Structures are given as C-alpha cells and as structure tokens.
Amino acid sequence: MQLINLFAKNTSAKAEFSQHIASIIGFKPKNVAVFQQAFTHSSLKKVDKDGSPINYERLEFLGDAILSSVVSCFLFEQMPDKNEGYLTKMRSKIVSRQNLNQLGKDLDLLELLDSEVNSDKYGQNIYGNLFESLVGAIYLDKGYKICEHFIYDKIIDPYIDLDRFKKKIISYKGLIIEWCQKNKFKYEFEVEDEIGVDKEHYFIVRFYLDDKLISKAREISKKNAMEKAASRAYYSLQDQID
C-alpha cells in the first residue's frame, strides 16, 4: 500500500493529501496539520516543538467523545419514551467497534495512514480508530455543528435503522449472564488452555447452565472464545431466552 507522506515539505504532496481528505469529508480542510496528525501512527515517534507526541491517539479519544455526544442527542430525540439504560445500550450498538471498523474500511482510511508498521500487522480496530481520529480532526477544524453534520451524513442517515438496532446483540456473553442472573440460574464459563499442533496457544471455553454443558468454543483469544461459546449457548437456548 502506497502511503502519502503527510509531513512532506513539498507543496504537491500536501495538496494531494488535502484533496483526498476533502473527497472524504465533503469540504476543504482549513487546518491541514490537524488532519495530518489524525493519520500519523505512533510508530513514527513524531513530536512537536514542546516534545508532545504527534499521532492520532489523542484525536481518537476526542472523536470517540464527539461521536457519543451526537449519537446520544439523536437517540434522546428519537426515543422520548426510553430510559437511560435502554438509550445507553442503543448507543453502544450504534458506535460499536464493528460498525466503526466497517466505516473506516468503507472510507479507505488506512490508505492515508503514515506509519512504520506494515499494513498486515494491524488489527481490525485500526479502521475504527482512524474513523474516530478523523471525527476529532473535523471537530477541531470546523467545530461541533459541521462535525455533527458529518456524523449524520456518514453514520446516522445511511446506516441507522432503529428497529433493526433494537434487535441487534452486541455481546452474547453479557446477554447470557444477564438472563441467567435475572432468572437465578447457576452458570459457569469454564476456561481451558491448550497448545495446538501448530504451537499456537488456544483457549477452550465451555458454558454450563445448572451444571449442564450447553456449548463450547475454541479460539486463540480468551475473549473471543467466551463470546463464541455464549453465542452458541444463546442460539441453543433462544426459545427460552426470547
């Protein structure tokens, strides 16, 4: 993947970057430097004149907060009859890592990243991280209203179907635990380590309900194994849970 040198001194490279950003966000950036920072990886170890790091991580933090704010206001207006807990769950579904990662992919944001790390070494979350940092950069460059418009244009209007999101499950593990606790069922996620024939470290997770084995899963990540076991348990018990 060919990367654009965001801090190149020649004017044509900066103009190319600015045009690329404009094609994504729908307007010409005023402060190109803040967008350059939004696509600078910490592996470059860039710092400003005061020694503070220049990378996308702080903008990612800011963008996450702006996203939550805009989506919260949207849900507050659209669901006047729902309580805090329900609105919080709906917001989590909309700004889930899965959704943000897909947005980052759709916008080809990784193409703009300046980094010392090979692109095949990134996890999937890099796409969502860059989307959040882009939102943070828009906020600093143009303010809240323009940033809000971008979020509506890229997320809320094209993707958010509230009826569909009501049914979406973001954590099978959380759903299973909540259901078990509500009904006072005894449950357990039993975790076992295993070294595969390929020397890879695996986790085997078994889910028990009232001492009865309901499901099991095997993954290289403990978290993923637990979530998969919970997902299989949910579909096995769906008639009772629903």
DSSP letters for 62-89: HHHHHHHHHHHHHHHHH-TT--HHHHHH
CATH number at residue 80: 1.10.1520.10
Answer yes or no: do 138 and 113 share one domain. yes
Overall pTM surpassing 0.75 (yes/no): no
pLDDT at 167 over 70: no
Answer yes or no: do 128 and 23 share one domain. yes
Answer yes or no: do 158 and 186 share one domain. no
Q: Is residue 5 part of a domain?
A: no
Q: Is residue 4 part of a domain?
A: no
Q: Is residue 190 part of a domain?
A: yes
Answer yes or no: do 149 and 201 share one domain. no
pLDDT at 12: 77
Q: Which of 142, 165, 188 is the last residue of a domain?
A: 165
Answer yes or no: do 102 and 74 share one domain. yes
For residue range 178-214, list pLDDT tens digits in order. Answer: 899 999 999 999 999 988 776 788 999 999 999 999 9
Q: Is residue 155 part of a domain?
A: yes
Answer yes or no: do 192 and 237 share one domain. yes
Q: Structural domain tally of the chain?
A: 2
Q: Is residue 33 part of a domain?
A: yes
Its domain, for residue 221, covers 172-241
Q: Is the Cβ–Cβ distance between 147 and 135 less than 8 Å? A: yes
Rounded to 10 degrees, what is the CA torsion of 89, 95, 98, 99? 120
Can you tell me the distance from the alpha carbon of 55 to that of 177, in angstroms, rounded to the nearest whole number? 38
Answer yes or no: do 81 and 109 share one domain. yes
Q: Is residue 95 part of a domain?
A: yes
Q: Is residue 208 part of a domain?
A: yes
For residue range 51-92, list pLDDT tens digits in order. Answer: 899 999 999 999 999 999 999 999 999 999 989 988 988 888
Q: Is residue 2 part of a domain?
A: no
Q: Which residues are catalytic, by number?
A: 64, 132
Answer yes or no: do 40 and 147 share one domain. yes
